[in-house]
Amino acid sequence: MASFIPSIPSIFGKKAAKILFISPEAAPFVKVGGLGEVMRALPKALRELGYDARVLTPKYASMNLENFPLTKIYEGLEFVPEELDPHGLFVCNVLQNESEEDVVAYFLENMEYFEKRANVYGYADDTVRWVLLCKAALEFIKQSDWVPDIIVTNDWQTGFLPDFLKHSYHQHRKLSGIKTMFIIHNLNFQGMFDHRFLSETDYDSGQAAIPELGDPNILKLNGMRRGIMWSDLIVTVSPTYSKEILTTDFGEGLNELLKEKRSVLFGVLNGIDYDIYNPQKDKLIPHPFSYNNLEKRALNKTALQEKFNLKVDPRKFVIGIVSRMDEQKGFELIMQICNPLFENVDFQMVVVGGGDNKYRLFFQEMEKKYPGRFGGHYFYDEILPRLVFAGADAILVPSRFEPSGLVQMEAMRYGAIPIVRHVGGLADSVRDFDGEQGDGFVFNNYDPYALLVAIVRAKETFSNKKTWTTIVSHSMQNDFSWKKSAQDYDKLFNILLDKK
């Protein structure tokens, strides 16, 4: 099965293997979404296992250099002949940060393609930027005294690196022995195009050589396909998702290729950083608490209601939504049932997250229509999600598909019970409450009525104070830390190290 991870020895007692993560974002330096958080937490957990795990990401203008001072360690990486790049647009430098926590991170410095840009993503030439990152990483390793045993690439933006390593750099002395792992965080995004609507002339089979950086054909490349094709090992961010993407419904046009690669396809559920997400010590919530003193958690519910102008009442059932607002996350279902729910069920709702304007406008109308019962903040925010997790009774994640999902794990850590669809990482992390056991409310079909029934089930269960308190206590004691996930990655790394 795709998610099976063989039982093989770990690295304990061996010389520490060197792992380099390549990513367009990495917390705490720069974070846009879940990928950035994974790039902080997974290398950290691997270092605790004894790995020498480092990260390479671009240096963006938005980085706080006072908090993260950088030292230039290599200058003048060149990738394009001078006659084709007279202005030196593709010339890069590499800088390094070393923190007190023994974190070593490298940063690719390029004014034209990274530091002049206001955002991490969203530019017409993004493919050029990510090909530059991948090629620069290999050029840097050629010059470096530190050479990784394994390079871990993430999603389509870095799927070009395994291709380069297999075809353009495979004969270089330092690089010939490096193995690659490709982590699929979301198969839906494959390049600077909609892969569902491609002409034959724009189709990238992954077989041809990657064009030069100045070639306009580079914009047609499918980084996801190339990452899958040319990596030594492929990992999805949950076991269920590793099986789902072999099907037509979830494979996004790559399911046949993935079936060919299924012998090296595995699934490891993402985790959350328990040092950051700790309700006993979290300074971002007004009243720290644990599963042993849930009466303090009730104080956060009051704070949440006050923050979002809801009627303050501890007896009200409060549903929270913390999410990027788009179709993948099930917002079409939410829109279809919202008005009937508010007309027939006594509850409150809080929404936090940015995204598609049509959802934001819908929720703003809901605020006007149901004052005191509906509140929202429709922009990305680092602090408010913690208050929602700590104060809401339930968290809603009705995704159409969900490779892993972190919100449901973060919410359970703070005692907010998930209402989720049985899909991807949600299926791997939430057990449906059957009247006696379970830590959430799960529905199967992507259907508004199935979602409505799950919400009503949760609301009715909430009315039984003793039962609800038991569910909350059990959910908070789940172990979704990166420790177990890192041990699974340890086994997969050893498959690659044995191949070396």
Cβ burial, residue 221 (10 Å; 0-12/13-18/19+): buried
Kindly report which listed range (29-33, 106-110, 428-432) carries the lowest average pLDDT score: 29-33
Short-list 40, 104, 95, 35, CA closest to 70: 95
Short-list 67, 73, 33, CA closest to 54: 73
- For the segment 272-277, the average pLDDT, to the nearest whole number, is 92
Domain ranges across the chain:
18-271+483-499, 294-479
Proportion of the chain above pLDDT 70, given as a percent: 96
On the question of pLDDT at 110 being above 80, the answer is: yes
User: For 222-272, what is each residue's pLDDT tens digit?
Assistant: 999 999 999 999 999 999 999 999 999 999 999 999 999 999 999 999 999
3-state helix, strand, coil in the chain (%, to 5): 40, 15, 45
On the question of pLDDT at 7 being above 90, the answer is: no
Q: Could you tell me how far CA 47 lies from the centroid of its own chain?
A: 20
Proportion of the chain above pLDDT 90, given as a percent: 84
Short-list 81, 114, 104, CA closest to 19: 104
- For the segment 420-424, the average pLDDT, to the nearest whole number, is 98
On the question of pLDDT at 394 being above 90, the answer is: yes
User: For 336-386, what is each residue's pLDDT tens digit?
Assistant: 999 999 999 999 999 999 999 999 999 999 999 999 999 999 998 889 999
pLDDT at 16: 77
pLDDT at 6: 55
pLDDT at 268: 98
DSSP code per residue over 176-207? TT-EEEEEES-TT--SSS-TTS--GGG---S-
294-479: what fold? Rossmann fold (3.40.50)
Handedness of CA 236, 270, 105, 496 (dihedral sign): negative
**Rounded-to-integer distance, Cα 331 and Cα 323, Å:** 10
- The values of phi and psi at residue 6, to 5°, are -60, 150
Please indicate if the annotation marks 465 as binding a ligand: no
* 321 strand-pairing partners: 351
pLDDT at 5: 60
pLDDT at 258: 98
- For the segment 124-148, the average pLDDT, to the nearest whole number, is 96
Could you tell me if 284 and 276 are in contact, meaning their C-beta atoms sit under 8 angstroms apart? no
357 phi-psi bin (left φ>0, alpha ψ -120 to 50, beta other): alpha
- For the segment 144-156, the average pLDDT, to the nearest whole number, is 97
357 vs 123, 361, 385, CA distance in Å?
A: 20, 6, 20
Helix, strand, or coil here: 88?
coil
On the question of pLDDT at 400 being above 90, the answer is: yes
Count of beta carbons in the 10 Å neighbourhood of residue 248: 9
Start-to-end Cα distance in the chain:
24
Short-list 153, 129, 122, CA closest to 39: 153
Q: How confident is the model at residue 411 (pLDDT cuts 50, 70, 90)?
A: very high
Nearest 5 degrees, angle CA 291-CA 397-CA 388? 45
pLDDT at 330: 96
**Rounded-to-integer distance, Cα 386 and Cα 76, Å:** 43
User: For 298-342, what is each residue's pLDDT tens digit?
Assistant: 999 999 999 999 999 999 999 999 999 999 999 999 999 999 999
35 vs 30, 87, 270, 459, CA distance in Å?
A: 10, 33, 10, 33
Q: How confident is the model at residue 11 (pLDDT cuts 50, 70, 90)?
A: very low
Residue-averaged pLDDT of the chain = 93
Torsion on CA atoms 466, 471, 472, 477, rounded to nearest 10? 130
- CATH code 3.40.50.2000 for 18-271+483-499: yes
- For the segment 432-440, the average pLDDT, to the nearest whole number, is 94
On the question of pLDDT at 202 being above 90, the answer is: no
- For the segment 60-81, the average pLDDT, to the nearest whole number, is 90
Per CATH, 18-271+483-499 and 294-479 having the same topology is answered yes
What is the 3 state secondary structure string of 260-298? HCHHHEEECCCCECCCCCCCCCCCCCCCCCCCCCHHHHH
**Rounded-to-integer distance, Cα 226 and Cα 204, Å:** 9
Q: How confident is the model at residue 83 (pLDDT cuts 50, 70, 90)?
A: confident
